[in-house]
Amino acid sequence: MADGGGAGPGSSERAWDTAWPPRFSGRSPPRPSTTEMEQETVSGSAELRAEAASYRCSACHGDEDWGLGHPIRGRAKSRSLSAAPALASTREFRRTRSLHGPCPVTTFGPKACVLQNPQTIMHIQDPASQRLTWNKSPKSVLVIKKIRDASLLQPFKELCVYLMEENNMIVYVEKKVLEDPAIVSDDRFGPVKRKFCTFREDYDDISNQIDLIICLGGDGTLLYASSLFQGSVPPVMAFHLGSLGFLTPFNFENFQSQVTQVIQGNAAVVLRSRLKVRVVKELRGKKVAVPNGISENGVLAAALDAEVGKQVMQYQVLNEVVIDRGPSSYLSNVDVYLDGHLITTVQGDGVIVSTPTGSTAYAAAAGASMIHPNVPAIMITPICPHSLSFRPIVVPAGVELKIMLSPEARNTVWVSFDGRKRQEVRHGDSVSITTSRYPLPSICVRDPVSDWFESLAQCLHWNVRKKQAHFAEDEEDAHEEDGAGNQACGPAVCTRDRRT
């Protein structure tokens, strides 16, 4: 929920726009009569046809209302597209919280959005139906290239020339990419190089200037692209030019036709949820001026905000947040809270809090299950816990996790975000984690389901095993006779090894 996602319970930031499933109190609701149900069904069908016929994307049509004069719920004053509103017949079931997690923002950068289904009740679409569309033709593209990799120089040059000369697009690159000696010394690339727009990480904000992101390299380029956008992320097209390539489904051989299809809006997209992480630290050894003259290094009056006089940092994380014991030889000892309630104390090497996308990364190596990116969930995986019963767990996407050092902890812990920004967490500090409102839209080669299973098979060799040999006909007949005889002797008799 990057800017507005999942603070404490009851916060307005947790008011998610979804209409299903309904929440009922302990008493059963009154059952309508048969006549009332028939009238509602007829009315709902008519409204469904009317709304489906007049459906339009709010991002593409400015501030125009929906067909029947119903304004789209959850739309900000600026141009943004929330999930498609619920049908009129389900308004009575509208709720503010859902186990399906926060309603993701479905506009990505200035010009891209997901084509909505007017009949969708929940904001979670069928993965096969998620299609990319543009309300205006994309004009600016950010090209992210793996640094210090000579094998990527030629694909990088070919792509940039194609984007600039064939599609007349503005190309943004990081400044240090153009400082590569091989690019500096290439005189033929000089005219193209002068057309680039450059930026520096942590100095220049390009979040509102990019329509499309193209990554050349491995999975790390996608993680880096995510870190550049703390709010809405433009669509990402990732080419597999690295080592693993689980998150980079495109091959570069026929990049022209593939890029053209994406620019024309003919592509499937998977919304990879991210984590909104908030780190609050005590300002030790520094006197901080706070209201009402209180300046006792974070010792504040009860009436003041508990975070006044503290250092607050916020991150958007695509894979995982890792809290580990760092250089200490002692096991870590951290308390894990879920929506304000202490659920467990992790005693071990640490804990991993991951998205479904991150479930196939560090979490998978630590024994977690692999979750499809469309599943709204957060996974909690211990790292080498000193317990035989501490198994990884999956919690709903909308909850807020808070991790702090236990009072009896012997040492501090360290936290990192997608393997970056590593920092120490001491007593009194806290790390709050919840699902971000801003997913990363990753463009698919085919569709979200097919691409995911293809990556499992090709990159992780999921369920690879030699095929079981088939019986010859005469052996099969003989085995059936043996099986009949064994059945007569009782179920405990078995003459075949299942491993053969």
The predicted structure's pLDDT at residue 286: 55
* Pairing mode of beta strands 140-145, 212-217: parallel
The predicted structure's pLDDT at residue 440: 95
Q: Which amino acid is at 465?
A: R
The predicted structure's pLDDT at residue 22: 38
* pLDDT band with cut points at 50, 70 and 90 for residue 42: very low
Evaluate whether 154 touches 87 at the Cβ level (below 8 Å): no
Locate tokens 């390009």: which residue? Answer: 206
- Give DSSP secondary structure letters for 267-296: -BEEEE--EEEEEEEE-TT-----GGG--B
The predicted structure's pLDDT at residue 437: 93
Q: Give me the mean pLDDT over the 448-476 stretch.
A: 87
* pLDDT band with cut points at 50, 70 and 90 for residue 76: very low
Q: Give me the mean pLDDT over the 471-487 stretch.
A: 68
Residue 301 has pLDDT above 50, yes or no: no
The predicted structure's pLDDT at residue 58: 47
The predicted structure's pLDDT at residue 119: 52
CA 453, CA 462: separation in Å to the nearest integer?
Answer: 9
Say which CATH class 275-283+309-437 falls into. Answer: mainly beta
Q: Which amino acid is at 419?
A: G
* pLDDT band with cut points at 50, 70 and 90 for residue 333: very high
Query: Cβ atoms within 10 A of the Cβ of 492, count?
Result: 6
Q: pLDDT per residue over 372-382, tens digit each?
A: 999 999 999 99
Q: Name 199's bridge partners.
A: 174
pTM value?
A: 0.69
CA 107, CA 171: separation in Å to the nearest integer?
Answer: 21
The predicted structure's pLDDT at residue 190: 79
Q: pLDDT per residue over 88-144, tens digit each?
A: 333 443 333 334 456 777 788 888 887 776 654 445 556 667 889 999 999 999 999
CA 445, CA 385: separation in Å to the nearest integer?
Answer: 39
Say which CATH class 131-272 falls into. Answer: alpha beta
- Give DSSP secondary structure letters for 11-56: -GGG---B--S----SSPPPPPPHHHHHHHHHHHHHHHHHHHHT--
Q: Give me the mean pLDDT over the 173-177 stretch.
A: 90
Q: Give me the mean pLDDT over the 29-52 stretch.
A: 46
Q: Give whichever of 108-112, 386-390, 471-475 has the largest mean pLDDT.
A: 386-390
7 phi, psi to nearest 5 deg: -75, -125
Least confident of 3-17, 205-219, 281-295, 401-415: 3-17
Structural domain boundaries of the chain?
131-272, 275-283+309-437
Q: Which amino acid is at 20?
A: W
CA 116, CA 271: separation in Å to the nearest integer?
Answer: 13
Q: Name 133's bridge partners.
A: 113
* pLDDT band with cut points at 50, 70 and 90 for residue 279: very high
Task: Report the percentage of the chain scoring pLDDT > 70.
Answer: 67
- Give DSSP secondary structure letters for 241-252: -SS--SS--B-S
The predicted structure's pLDDT at residue 102: 63
C-alpha torsion sign, points 168, 174, 175, 177: negative
Q: Give me the mean pLDDT over the 14-37 stretch.
A: 42
The predicted structure's pLDDT at residue 418: 95
435 phi, psi to nearest 5 deg: -75, 135
The predicted structure's pLDDT at residue 359: 96
Helix (H, G, I), strand (E, B) or coil at 402: strand
Q: pLDDT per residue over 240-273, tens digit each?
A: 998 888 999 999 999 999 999 999 998 999 999 9
Residue 226 has pLDDT above 50, yes or no: yes
The predicted structure's pLDDT at residue 280: 95
